Structure 1
Amino acid sequence: MTSLKTPRFGLPLLAVGQAHKELFHNDALLLLDFLINPVVQAVADDPDLLSPAEGDCWLVGTSPVSGWSGHAGEIAGWSAGGWHFIKPQKSMKILILSGDANEKGSAIYDGTGWQHIPQISAPTGGTTVDSEARLAIDSILGLFRTLRILPEI
């Protein structure tokens, strides 16, 4: 028998003669809604400390408790039906809206864990200042921050 889930993200598939197909279809759409342009509020370990709105997502931290136990490193999305979990795939990128300087910004999943993209500061100091080069570097850094490739300073 074939699996009734997609191979990458485990989205539920429909089967011939399956009862309540709309439940499986709606669950797949909900997970896709979380996956398209994945944005998480922050990194957290305890869902009991949160007040999620429908559609909010968090990146589950390394020591999850309560309802998130066993889901470290996954994306947890909240809906009226409760928490839904998405296992990340290699090279998946997310945007983390808040947190400390090491967490906020973009992160990429490398197959074993999330790698947070570090801050890159604009050039300062030096004995020879090339203002045109600094302007170009500042423009590149600004573009990367606008595209959310780099976190904002």
Structure 2
Amino acid sequence: MAILETARFDIPLLATGQAHKELFHNEALARIDFLLHPVVQAVESDPSNIVPSPGQSWLVAPGAVNDWLGRDDHIAGWTENGWLFIVPQTVMRIYVKSSESYAVYRGSWQSAETVTNPAGGAVVDSEARLAIDSILSVLVAQGILLSTS
């Protein structure tokens, strides 16, 4: 019998008469748990550098080694049964705890950029500068941009 999976995240589906349905069901729930509110600890290329706990996940950096070899850009989640890998989808957004910002998947993971507040210049428009500073503050607070401080 062919294993049935969802098209985007390979979440196992149950089939009529399928043996060990609880294994497939638990695998599906584990994947959903990692995807429901996606948060990763950090971006890492070597799993031997970390001591994972069940429920924690990482973004697999390019050039991954050991258990993550060939899994570049995947989300690697640790479960009680070992690593579970999820292939990201275009414009998927995930929160990276180590940088306190978001990364977006566009063929590869792209992290928030650091921008500086306006300073200097021949003509200073204090009202425009205040408006820009306010916009930048909101974007930093949302994790869309990184703070320079």
TM-score, normalised via structure 1 length? 0.87
Q: Give the paired residue count.
A: 148
CA RMSD in angstroms, aligned pairs only: 1.8
Matches within 5 A, 1:1-153: 4-98=4-98, 105-110=101-106, 112-153=107-148
Contact 1:105 1:152 in 2 (8 A): no
Deviations 1:102-140 (A, max 9, x none): xx6322111x21222311211111222222212211111
Counterpart Cα distance in 2 of 1:31 and 1:121: 38
Contact 1:106 1:151 in 2 (8 A): no
Shift of residue 2 of structure 1? Answer: 7.0
Counterpart Cα distance in 1 of 2:94 and 2:136: 19
SS of equivalent to 1:89: coil
Which contiguous aligned blocks of 4+ residues in structure 1 show a shift greater than 3 angstroms?
Answer: none
Shift of residue 95 of structure 1? Answer: 1.8
Question: Any stretches of 5+ residues in structure 2 without a counterpart?
Answer: none
Partner letter of residue 141 of structure 1? L
SS of equivalent to 1:33: helix
Counterpart Cα distance in 1 of 2:47 and 2:132: 41
Contact 1:59 1:74 in 2 (8 A): yes
Counterpart Cα distance in 1 of 2:18 and 2:120: 67
Counterpart Cα distance in 1 of 2:2 and 2:131: 54
Counterpart Cα distance in 1 of 2:90 and 2:3: 21
Contact 2:3 2:12 in 1 (8 A): no
Shift of residue 31 of structure 1? Answer: 0.9
Contact 1:92 1:109 in 2 (8 A): yes
Shift of residue 151 of structure 1? Answer: 2.7
Counterpart Cα distance in 2 of 1:126 and 1:93: 36
Counterpart Cα distance in 2 of 1:6 and 1:152: 39
Partner letter of residue 51 of structure 2? S
TM-score, normalised via structure 2 length? 0.89
Partner letter of residue 43 of structure 1? V
SS of equivalent to 1:98: helix
